[in-house]
Structure 1
Amino acid sequence: MRAFIFPGQGSQAVGMGKALAEASSTAREVFEEVDHALEQNLFQLMCEGPADELTLTENAQPAIMANAIATLRVMEKEGDKSLGDLCSYVAGHSLGEYSALCAAGALNLTTTAKLLKLRGQSMQKAVPVGEGGMAALLGADIKKASALAKASAQGEVCTVANDNDPTQVVISGHMGAIERAIAAAKEHGIKRGILLPVSAPFHCSLMGPAAEAMEEALAEASLLPPVVPVFANVTAGPVPDVNDIRNLLVQQVTGTVRWRESVGNMAETGVEQFVEFGGKVLTGMVKKIAPDAETVSLISMDDIESFLKDT
């Protein structure tokens, strides 16, 4: 069995998608549709930068999605196969869940781009810059990270945002609490805490205003049943129906990304190969969660052609 996985924020880089678009009209069509949906020259920003503008949450989120979906569409076109022929499950990390839903046909590309633009804008506006932060805890499992977050809160918000793999957990909340957690990391048996260069404290209760904005937008969005099951970040399991997809996407804004459990659960169901589209970060996490699984990262046309030869 095979699962297709889609990366989250941090996977953006100037030049992303450029070579693929030069090699494939299918990729170009994806980027053109996203530009049209957003009424923005996003693909030019992806190709040329500047990096600081591409990194802005409202740009990075739709850009990462567009790059991942372009890679998927090229692979489907070159292989003359549909998603259902190629994989048993899809999943994505944070914003990557939207990419996964788009890949599975639950959301069309235009809707996905607009939702992610709004999601990025809403998350940025939810907390004034500097009031919140996030930190990666290296050498931490979920138990140690949760204990550290609880001890560091001291009346402020400090909670687990991303349970990435058995050795890395990300926490999120008020900046003061995050700084206390970094300082106390070693006391809790954690190798190191690193403040992340993010503009807002994602996946914690401080994102409440963004969750409200997404609830309103998702209520009006057209969703279809996915052609293959989508594993949700909030539950670490397949989403039963369309209404659940809406509800879980809203909960995801303030909830923990249960990536370690999602990958572990897919592996337990028999997934032996995880294929990441448009990035390499998730495959590294997968190897720590399910060491026996095969991982493949598809970014270039050469990657796609090599994958299809072996499929």
Structure 2
Amino acid sequence: MRAFVFPGQGSQKVGMGAELAAASAAAREVFEEVDEALSQPLSGIMRDGPESALTLTENAQPAIMANAIATLRVLEREFGVSLADKGDCVAGHSLGEYTSLCAIGAFSLADTALLLKLRGQAMQAAVPVGQGAMCALLGADLDAAQKLAEAAAEGQVCEVANDNDPTQVVLSGHAAAIERAVAMVKDFGIKRGVPLPVSAPFHCSLMQPAADAMAAALAETPPGSFALPLYANVTAAAVTDPREEQRLLVEQVTGRVRWRESVLAMRAAGVEQFVELGGKVLGPMIGRIDKEAEAISVVTMADLEALAKEIG
């Protein structure tokens, strides 16, 4: 069995998608359609920067999605490899769940871009800049991270935002609580705490205003039927019902990204190969979660050609 997986925030970089756009009309069409949907030259920011504009949450989220869908479209159009035929399920990390839904036909490309633009804006607006923060705990398992979060909270919000792999857990919450957590890592047997360069505290209860905004947006633009099952971030379980997924996308804004558990659940269901489209972030994580799993990260035309030869 094979899963196609899609990266989340942090995988953006200036120049993303430029090689695909130069080589393939299918990729160019994706970038043009997203630009048109957003009434914004997002593809220009992706190609040329500045980096400060690309890393803005409201730009990074649709940009990462557009790059991954462009990679998928090239695979399908140029190499004749259909995700629905060659895949058994999909999953995405945080915003990558929206990319997954676009990939399996539950959202149109334009609607996905608009939803992610709004999601980025709503997440940024939920907490004033400087009041929230996130940190990565390296050499931490979930149990140690939860104990540290509880100790550092001191009446503020300090919660596990991402359970990425057996060696990396991310905390999110009030800036002062995250500072305390970073300072206390050694007391909990954790190797390092690294503050993350993010503009808002994603995936914690402080994001409730953004969850409310997404509930309203998804009521107007609900997901349609799926070509393949999707493993949802907040449950780490397969979903096939669009109404259930609509609810889970709202929960996802404040909820934990259960990536480690999602990969283990897909493995338990029989997935042997994971194909990451549009990034090189999830592949290494999957390797740390299960050394027996095969993980391929596909970004360039050469990567796509190699993948098409293998699975086509």
TM range (shorter): over 0.9
Classify the secondary structure of the residue corresponding to 2:208: helix
Q: How far apart are 1:239 and its partner, in Å?
A: 1.3
TM-score, normalised with respect to structure 1? 0.99
Residues 158-237 of structure 1: pairs in structure 2 closer than 5 A: 158-237=158-237
Question: What SS is found at the alignment partner of 1:181?
Answer: helix
1:148 maps to 148
The Cα shift of 1:283 comes to 0.4
Note the 1:1-311 alignment, pairs <5 A.
1-311=1-311
Contact residue 222 and residue 246 of structure 2 kept, 8 A:
no
1:15-59 residue CA offsets vs partner (Å, 9 max, x unmatched)? 000110010000000000000000000000100000011000000
Give the letter aligned to residue 280 of structure 1: K
CA distance in 2, matches of 1:298, 1:269: 23
Determine helix, strand or coil for the equivalent of 2:270.
Answer: coil
Provide the C-alpha distance between the structure 2 equivalents of 1:247 and 1:291, rounded to a whole number of angstroms: 33
- Matched letter for residue 165 of structure 1: D
Q: In 1, distance between residues paired with 2:71 and 2:89?
A: 17
Q: Displacement, 1:290? A: 1.3
**Distance in 1 (alpha carbons) for counterparts of 2:81 and 2:277:** 16
Distance 2:157 2:38 in 1: 33
Secondary structure of the residue that 1:130 maps to in structure 2?
coil
Deviations 1:176-215 (A, max 9, x none): 1001111110100101101001000000000010000000
The RMSD of aligned alpha carbons is 0.7
d(CA) in 1 for partners of 2:158 and 2:79? 46
Unaligned runs of 5+ in 1: none
Q: Match of 1:181, as an amino acid?
A: A
Distance in 2 between residues matched to 1:295 and 1:211, nearest whole Å:
32
Query: Where does the alignment leave 5 or more consecutive residues of structure 2 unmatched?
Result: none
Q: Give 1:82 shift.
A: 2.2
User: In structure 2, what is the Cα distance between the partners aligned to 1:30 and 1:18?
Assistant: 12
CA contact (8 A) 2:226 2:240 kept: no
Secondary structure of 2:136's aligned partner: strand
Identity percentage of aligned residues: 64
- Tell me how far apart the structure 2 counterparts of residues 293 and 228 of structure 1 sit (CA, whole Å): 20
Distance (Å, rounded) in 1 between the aligned partners of 2:308 and 2:62: 26
The offset of 1:222, in angstroms, is 4.0
What is the distance in 2 between the residues matched to 1:174 and 1:248?
24
Letter in 2 for 1:152: A
Distance 1:204 1:85 in 2: 36
Higher mean C-alpha deviation, range 79-88 or range 273-282:
79-88
Give the 3-state SS of the residue equivalent to 1:73 in structure 2. helix
Q: Per-residue deviation at 1:77?
A: 1.2
Distance of 1:239 and 1:208 partners within structure 2: 23
Paired residue total: 311
SS in 2 for 1:162: strand
How far apart in 1 are the matches of 2:224 and 2:240? 12
1:221-277 CA deviation, whole Å, 9 max, x = no partner? 042111000110000011141111110000000000000000011011111111111
Distance, in Å, in 1 between the alignment partners of 2:224 and 2:91 is 16
CA distance in 1, matches of 2:193, 2:300: 33
> Match of 1:10, SS?
coil
The alignment partner of 2:107 has SS state of: coil
Q: Deviations over 1:97-155 (max 9, x none)?
A: 00001001111100000000000000000000010000000000000000000111010
Q: For residues 135 and 271 of structure 1, what CA distance do their matches in structure 2 show?
A: 31
Runs of 4+ in 1 over 6 A off after TM superposition: none
* Distance in 2, Cα, partners of 1:229 & 1:310: 23
